[in-house]
C-alpha cells in the first residue's frame, strides 16, 4: 500500500514501530489527504487512526479518503489545532510530518502539560520538521525526550529528515554537532545521509556568519 505515499511519507511510515506487541492508535497531526492513515489501516499496523487538521478542507479530504476505502469505524477525523481535544493513550504513535519545528514544539508543549508522564513514556512521537530541526532537537533534550532514531530521504530533489522521540523524563544537552546534524544521523554511513549532511554544510555556511556556535562547528568540520 505504500504506493500511495511520497518518498517523504514513506520514510515516515517506515519509522512507525510495526513490531509493537499491542497495536496502539496512529495519530496523524496535519493529515492533509489522509494517505498515511489509509496506509497504516490497510496494512494492518494499527486498528484505529485519529487524524487532525487545523483547516476544515484538509480534514474533509481525509475523511472522504478513508470513507471511500470502506474504513468507516476505524478512524476519527478532528478539525482542531494540533492535539487539542485528543487525549493520548499508552501505545499511541503520534505523527507530525510536514510541520515547522516551532509548530511541533507548540503541539508537544500543549499535550505535555495535560498528559501523565506514565502515558507519555509509552507514546512514540514520529517527527518530520520542515525547518528549525536544530531547535526541535534541543527542545526534545530539555524536555526529557530521547531521540531514538533518525532518517533522511530525497523526494523530488528536496531533502527531508525525520526523528522518533520517546519520553523518559530525563533532560540532557546536545553537542553542537548533534544539535545541527542529528545525534543518530551522525553515526550513519548511509550515502543519502552523507549527501544530506553535505547539503546542510552549504546551508550552515551561510547561517554561520551570524552564529558563533555554528561558525566554530563549521571550522571544526573543515567546511569554512
Position with higher pLDDT, 136 vs 20? 136
pLDDT at 2 over 70: no
Torsions phi, psi for 44 (to 5 deg): 75, 20
pLDDT (tens digit per residue) in 120-177: 999 999 999 999 999 999 999 999 999 999 999 999 999 999 999 999 999 999 999 9
How would you classify the pairing of strands 124-129 and 158-167? Answer: antiparallel
Residue 149 has a pLDDT of 95
**Nearest-10 crossing angle of helices 7-14, 35-43:** 50
pLDDT at 22 over 80: no
- Which pLDDT band, with edges at 50, 70 and 90, does 223 fall under? confident
Across the chain, mean pLDDT equals 94
Residue 160 has a pLDDT of 97
Place of cell 513490531: 19
- Which pLDDT band, with edges at 50, 70 and 90, does 32 fall under? confident
- Which pLDDT band, with edges at 50, 70 and 90, does 42 fall under? very high
* Cα-Cα end-to-end distance for the chain: 45
d(CA 194, CA 199): 9
Residue 222 has a pLDDT of 87
Helix (H, G, I), strand (E, B) or coil at 190: coil
Average confidence (pLDDT) over 36-63: 94
For the entire predicted model, the pTM comes to 0.95
Residue 17 has a pLDDT of 76
* Helical (H) or strand (E) element with 65: helix 56-68
pLDDT (tens digit per residue) in 106-121: 999 999 999 999 999 9
Residue 184 has a pLDDT of 97
How much of the chain, in percent, has pLDDT values that exceed 70? 97
Cβ contacts of 131 within 8 Å, gap of 6 or more: 100, 101
d(CA 208, CA 100): 21
Residue 1 has a pLDDT of 53
Distances (CA, A) of 165 to 64, 101, 126, 160: 31, 14, 7, 17
pLDDT at 19 over 80: no
- Which pLDDT band, with edges at 50, 70 and 90, does 224 fall under? confident
Amino acid at each position: 500500500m505504500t504506493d500511495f505515499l511520497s518518498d517523504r511519507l514513506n520514510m515516515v511510515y517506515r519509522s512507525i514501530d510495526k513490531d509493537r506487541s499491542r497495536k496502539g492508535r496512529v495519530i496523524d497531526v496535519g493529515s492533509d489527504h489522509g494517505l498515511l492513515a489509509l496506509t497504516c489501516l490497510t496494512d494492518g499496523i494499527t486498528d484505529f487512526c485519529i487524524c487532525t487538521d487545523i483547516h476544515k478542507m484538509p480534514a474533509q479530504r481525509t475523511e472522504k479518503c478513508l470513507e471511500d476505502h470502506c474504513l468507516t469505524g476505524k478512524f476519527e477525523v478532528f478539525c482542531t489545532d494540533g492535539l487539542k481535544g485528543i487525549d493520548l493513550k499508552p501505545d499511541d504513535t503520534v505523527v507530525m510530518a510536514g510541520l515547522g519545528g516551532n509548530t511541533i514544539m507548540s503541539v508537544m508543549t500543549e499535550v505535555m502539560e495535560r498528559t501523565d508522564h506514565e502515558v507519555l513514556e509509552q507514546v512514540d512521537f514520529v517527527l518530520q520538521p520542515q525547518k528549525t530541526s536544530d531547535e526541535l532537537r534541543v527542545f526534545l533534550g530539555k524536555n526529557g525526550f530521547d531521540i531514538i532514531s533518525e532518517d533522511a530521504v530525497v523526494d523530488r530533489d528536496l531533502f527531508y529528515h525525520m526523528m522518533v522521540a520517546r519520553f523518559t523524563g530525563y533532560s540532557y544537552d546536545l553537542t553542537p554537532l548533534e544539535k545541527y546534524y542529528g545525534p543518530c544521523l551522525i553515526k550513519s554511513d548511509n550515502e543519502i545521509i552523507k549527501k544530506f549532511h553535505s547539503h546542510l554544510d552549504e546551508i550552515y555556511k551561510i547561517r554561520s556568519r551570524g552564529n558563533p556556535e555554528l561558525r566554530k562547528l563549521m571550522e571544526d568540520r573543515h567546511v569554512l
